[in-house]
Amino acid sequence: MNVSHASVHPVEEVPTTEGGVAVAEQQNVNVPMVVRMKDIQGMPGTVGGLALRVSQFVFGAAALSIIASTNDFSSVTAFCFLVAAAGLQTLWSISLAITDIYAILVRRSLQNYRLVCTFTIGDGVTSTLMFAAACASVGITVLIDNDLDNCSYNHCVQFETATGMAFICWFTTVPSFLLNFWSLASR
Amino acid sequence: MNVSHASVHPVEEVPTTEGGVAVAEQQNVNVPMVVRMKDIQGMPGTVGGLALRVSQFVFGAAALSIIASTNDFSSVTAFCFLVAAAGLQTLWSISLAITDIYAILVRRSLQNYRLVCTFTIGDGVTSTLMFAAACASVGITVLIDNDLDNCSYNHCVQFETATGMAFICWFTTVPSFLLNFWSLASR
């Protein structure tokens, strides 16, 4: 049983694994703090988690569409990397958002060990790629704008806006990763 | 008491907080798995942790000295940022390495809650800055080398070597951060 823990006795009294905590709460069973930690907002299957996923999708898609709307992004490797990373991030976030909506609608807990492990690794990889792409892009943008002062024949505004969106997207990915990692470690 | 946990009773029998685990081990008290997790290699106060800190210092210092040895790094903001981030990283790593050496020599545990919290935040900030600087630098390096093919009058070899060192430095910082965060969450 994946959610078993020395101090979590009430979970053993309910028949299913994944719905254990929700059923225990409905029955007003005194659930210890270790299990309560798993239900804090921002984790998978909560409204806060869904809000984070939707934000990630919106800002990732914004970064992707803004950078792709310029005709010369493909001449700079960092911007191509940003397109790829933002594409991967939006696909990952929309998948997890759909999973969260499903979990909220059918009141199912997503605190299964393998699921949380998958979410943690996925969030870690996508957020690292997104941050790397955003940093590489900001390096190029600052070079063009500040160091070379070359904005007259470059799409500086689009590049800077897309980079900003990528950073906001990363900021909303980090809480998802940290909360999942915390949930994994506190078992 | 900082290390108190619902399932950790033996720790309450010893008088000090920081030496609690060590004293419990000397007395052959049956310490549960939650406390054993805190002693795995790579965490502060262990030989593995010291090795990570020394690696971070060596690669951070290498990145710093290689990029600073070029005469035109200051014309690119990303390289200046790399110098600042590598400087901060080496200062942080050498401080923690000295702390680790002290802890190993006097056989003191560094698993105090506030200390681990400080190490986690410090590692998180320095590794994020180091990764950001490395990514920004690699963006510039790839732009100069691949996109513009401008290596004839730029120090491409030094820039690429410094960026590589910065990435290796980051790779050795991530385990420190993750182990500290894990240690914090598994209390």
pLDDT tens readout for residues B90-114: 999 999 999 999 999 998 888 888 8
Is A131 close to B132, i.e. CB distance below 8 A? yes
In terms of pLDDT, which residue wins out, A164 or B35? A164
Nearest by CB to B135, which of A132, A147, A182? A132
- Same domain? For B17 and B71 the reply is no
Q: B171 and B119 share a domain? A: yes
Same domain as A166, residue A84: yes
Q: What's the number of CA atoms in the CB half-sphere (13 Å) around residue A115?
A: 15
> Which of A78, A136, A186 is facing B185, going by the closest CB pair?
A186
Closest listed residue to residue A134, CA positions, set A155, A163, A107? A163
Both A1 and A30 in a single domain?
Answer: yes
Q: Are residues B49 and B81 in the same domain?
A: yes
| Residues A119 and A64 occupy one common structural domain | yes
Check pLDDT > 80 for residue B7: no
Residue in A76, A147, A185 nearest the CB of B186: A185
Q: Are residues B144 and B72 in the same domain?
A: yes
Closest Cβ–Cβ partner in A75, A142, A185 for B185 = A185
- Does the distance separating the beta carbons of B7 and A143 come in below 8 Å? no
pLDDT of residue B183: 87
**Do A61 and A134 fall into the same domain?**
yes
Q: Is A138 on the interface with B (CB under 8 A)?
A: yes
Number of domains in chain B: 2
Whether residue A156 sits in one domain with residue A120? yes
B74 at the A interface (CB within 8 A)?
A: no
What span, in angstroms and rounded, lies between the C-alpha atoms of A37 and A43?
Answer: 10
Chain A residues near residue B142 by CB distance under 8 angstroms:
77-78, 136
Both B32 and B46 in a single domain? no
pLDDT at A39: 66
Residues B12 and B64 in one domain: no
> Which range of residues forms the domain containing residue B5?
1-39
Residues B28, B14: Cα–Cα separation, whole Å: 13
Question: For residue B140, which residues of chain A lie inside 8 Å, CB to CB?
Answer: 139-140, 143
Residues B59 and B86 placed together within one structural domain of the fold? yes
Q: Assign A66 to helix, strand or coil.
A: helix
With tokens 């401008």, the residue in question is B150
- B185: confidence class by pLDDT, cuts 50, 70, 90: confident
Q: Let me know: does A99 contact A110? Beta carbons within 8 Å.
A: yes
The Cα B124–Cα A186 span in angstroms is 19
* Contact check, Cβ <8 Å, A143/B181: no
Q: What is the pLDDT along chain A (187 residues), one digit of tens a residue?
A: 444 444 444 444 443 444 444 444 444 444 444 444 456 788 888 899 999 999 999 999 999 999 999 888 888 899 999 999 999 999 999 999 999 999 999 988 888 888 899 999 999 999 999 999 999 999 999 988 888 887 887 888 899 999 999 999 999 999 999 999 888 888 7
